[in-house]
Structure 1
Amino acid sequence: MKRSFYLFNPGLMERKDNTLKFTSVSTDELGNEVKLPARFIPIEDVTELYAFGSLKANSSLYNFLGQRGVPVHFFDYYENYTGSFMPRDGLLSGKALIAQAKAYQSTKRRTDLARKFIRGAVWNMIMNLNYYNRRGKDLEGCIKEMKALAKTLDEAHMVEEIMGIEGNIRRIYYSAFDIVLDDFNMGVRTKQPPENEVNALISFGNMMCYTETLKAVHQTQLNPTISFLHTPGERRYSLCLDISEIFKPIIVDRVIFKVLNKHAIQKGHFDNKLNRCLLNDKGKKIFVAAMEERYNETFRHRSLGRNVSYRHLIKLECYKLLKDILGIEEYKPFKMYW
């Protein structure tokens, strides 16, 4: 079964026949590099690679990965997503690209799509809080405030207004984390850098969701640089930011609540340095495993009448958006119903 591979240690990645050979390195007490035993990964088992440590490779390897359709996502020392190697687009469509650009240039269409992304995201945030409210957490006040703000989305006629409403809703939503979580406090949302454990998990999880969405977009005829909610910019796949808004509550936030309340991740899994809080290597491995478990979890899809995984659900969302852009079917964001 194909799966994602996460490279936490620095090392050298090479092609060995039809296999990937990864030789990781560590440092001894004197600061000298020590090569560890090589690990061989059959290319047929790989969907994508996540490089959290320094990765040495040559063009032969990237040619091989490109031929096999395997992307590589890179993160810096501070766990910030820095970019991806993406194989050549195999699903190019001039018709889809023109239609997507036209949808962006139309103020009404762009605003309608942006509003739908936020409606889906807010619905899923509220469903998260409802879940814990039914389990004895007093979240009625937060839910009521979020619903009241969500009703004002219809009055917003510009993307900037929609983003403003979303910011206010998310502020209330994040304030509820201190009620949902048993032993950790979030406080104010801080990103660059995250200043406490909960903020560190949110930033790390959101980046994972972003790269998973990028892979899903790449498997369709959508262009990842033309977005509707977030402003398209240089050197970023802003459409992935749009679509991932819908899935961050039901994938990332649910995983955070689970690993913290079940004590899978504890204080000792973080490094705190100079007002910066980051997961250490052990903590990353635990959180990544929990995210993979969530991605592979299946549920009964109402419209399709069959079980689908959360990973496949992201891809389905991309196809729904593409159908709207091409004028085939109106886009409706995915909303949790359990």
Structure 2
Amino acid sequence: MRKLLNTIYINSPEAYLALDGGNLVVIIDENKSRVPLVNIESIVSVGYRGVSPALMRYCTENKIGLAFVSRTGLLTCRLVGENNGNVLLRKTQYAVSESTDQALAIAQNFIVGKIYNQRWVIERMTRDHAARINVPQCKIISDELKQAITSCLAVTDIDSLRGIEGQAANRYDSVFGQFILQQAADFQFNGRSKRPPLDRVNALLSLTYTMLGHECAAALESVGLDAYVGFMHTDRPGRISLALDLMEELRAPLADRFVLRLVNQQIVNVKDFTVKENGAVLLTDDGRKKFFDAWQKRKNETMTHPYLNEKIEWGLIPYTQALLLSRYLRGDLDQYPPFLWK
């Protein structure tokens, strides 16, 4: 199994990134910091001053991911080097993406995994915090999601699948706010708002989804797949459609529960956010530092993969799912096994 390496998070918008030998140099005004790039697999920066050509070349040659994120939590740029893996695998991927039936079969498993994991978040909350949430309402939503899984398996076209997924997401969101057990007055959630996020919970969700999407794209590319050609999300210039597909089943266990941890364990608080004139809610520099520290710690925690039955770090889940997808496309598996969190 692949070893989980470290990610460097550059939190200052004023940072310029350069290379000195085998070190990343972070330049902010007259100050310079050096970080060895040994055992680094990714660099994520909220900076906008730029990066040196030497560092870009080093990252592509050493397969180090380099991504830039906006202060609102959107991925603005990813450096993509030479494709890995066998071109025959990517040709198979492209052919499957053009086949309505084959693409639907994979997309069904992505969405079954997503709804299953959303339901399990609800079930765990009703089990662990029954005195603090509306259990009857949550049970109704859980039953609806259970039925949605059955419906997903019966659809015959991708639009019907998208409709079921969207309805299930709305039902899940309708109770998600109840799972904020601490700081509830400061972290209210009444549904998703994205561009820009209009409350503190959405600001955290947007940044978390961006981090997860970047890591899904990097995982897919590391096994030789094209992150831009998906099976459910439509192709669009600059859109990492397959990474968005893969991300669906990982949203609830990796991203949503992480956001709940940030709030319920009071890792972040109201002082870690600022509100812009247009209503956009953003993390402050200190808030992003707390976020990135907690995200890296979460990635290093271990769990037993439900399909592989191996103990791995949470940060390797995107890679394991990308690997399983590649094995399915090669014909080594009868179907793509979604990540079903337990």
Residue in structure 2 matched with residue 295 of structure 1 by the alignment: 299
SS at the partner of 1:231? Answer: coil
- CA 1:198–1:77 in structure 2 vs 1: closer, same or farther (change >3 Å)? closer
Gaps of 5+ in 2: none
Identical amino acids, percent of aligned pairs: 22
Does 286-295 or 54-63 show the bigger shift?
Answer: 54-63
Residue in structure 2 matched with residue 60 of structure 1 by the alignment: 54
Gaps of 5+ in 1: 26-34
User: Which whole-Å CA distance do the structure 2 matches of 1:301 and 1:57 have between them?
Assistant: 37
Q: Mapping of 1:317-336 within 5 angstroms?
A: 317-329=321-333, 330-336=335-341
Deviation at 1:282, TM superposition (A): 1.3
Deviation at 1:130, TM superposition (A): 0.7
SS at the partner of 1:54? Answer: coil
Residue in structure 2 matched with residue 265 of structure 1 by the alignment: 268
TM-score between both structures, scaled by the size of structure 1: 0.92
Residue in structure 1 matched with residue 115 of structure 2 by the alignment: 122
Residue in structure 2 matched with residue 86 of structure 1 by the alignment: 80
- CA 1:2–1:325 in structure 2 vs 1: closer, same or farther (change >3 Å)? closer
2:262/2:268 contact within 8 Å kept: yes
| Higher relative contact order (Cα pairs below 8 Å, separated by 6+ residues) | 2
Residue in structure 2 matched with residue 176 of structure 1 by the alignment: 175
Deviation at 1:278, TM superposition (A): 1.3
User: Which whole-Å CA distance do the structure 2 matches of 1:144 and 1:302 have between them?
Assistant: 22
Residue in structure 1 matched with residue 151 of structure 2 by the alignment: 152
Residue in structure 1 matched with residue 281 of structure 2 by the alignment: 277
1:170-210 deviations in whole A, cap 9, x for unaligned?
01111111211121221121111111111111111100100
SS at the partner of 1:53? Answer: coil
Does residue 241 (structure 1) correspond to residue 244 (structure 2)? The answer is yes
1:18/1:42 contact within 8 Å kept: yes
1:75/1:82 contact within 8 Å kept: yes
1:4-62 deviations in whole A, cap 9, x for unaligned?
1111112222221222211113xxxxxxxxx2x31111121421111101233332221
- Which 4+ residue blocks in structure 1 deviate beyond 4 angstroms? none
1:48/1:71 contact within 8 Å kept: yes
SS at the partner of 2:82? Answer: coil
Deviation at 1:230, TM superposition (A): 0.5
Does residue 75 (structure 1) correspond to residue 44 (structure 2)? The answer is no
Does 110-119 or 145-154 show the bigger shift?
Answer: 145-154
TM-score between both structures, scaled by the size of structure 2: 0.91
Deviation at 1:303, TM superposition (A): 4.5
SS at the partner of 1:48? Answer: strand
User: Which whole-Å CA distance do the structure 1 matches of 2:307 and 2:290 have between them?
Assistant: 33
2:73/2:203 contact within 8 Å kept: no
AA aligned to 1:229 is M
1:198-226 deviations in whole A, cap 9, x for unaligned?
11111111001000111111110211111
Does residue 17 (structure 1) correspond to residue 21 (structure 2)? The answer is yes
SS at the partner of 1:22? Answer: strand
RMSD of equivalent CA atoms: 1.6
- CA 1:2–1:308 in structure 2 vs 1: closer, same or farther (change >3 Å)? closer
SS at the partner of 2:178? Answer: helix
1:81-107 deviations in whole A, cap 9, x for unaligned?
11201222232x221122111111111
Residue in structure 2 matched with residue 29 of structure 1 by the alignment: none
1:15/1:21 contact within 8 Å kept: yes
AA aligned to 1:216 is A
User: Which whole-Å CA distance do the structure 2 matches of 1:178 and 1:58 have between them?
Assistant: 43
1:116/1:332 contact within 8 Å kept: yes
1:282-326 deviations in whole A, cap 9, x for unaligned?
111112222212211111235544311112221111111112212
Deviation at 1:248, TM superposition (A): 1.1
SS at the partner of 1:176? Answer: helix
1:178/1:185 contact within 8 Å kept: yes
SS at the partner of 2:250? Answer: helix
User: Which whole-Å CA distance do the structure 2 matches of 1:234 and 1:14 have between them?
Assistant: 29
Residue in structure 1 matched with residue 207 of structure 2 by the alignment: 204
- CA 1:230–1:302 in structure 2 vs 1: closer, same or farther (change >3 Å)? closer
Residue in structure 1 matched with residue 164 of structure 2 by the alignment: 165
- CA 1:227–1:302 in structure 2 vs 1: closer, same or farther (change >3 Å)? closer
Does residue 108 (structure 1) correspond to residue 101 (structure 2)? The answer is yes
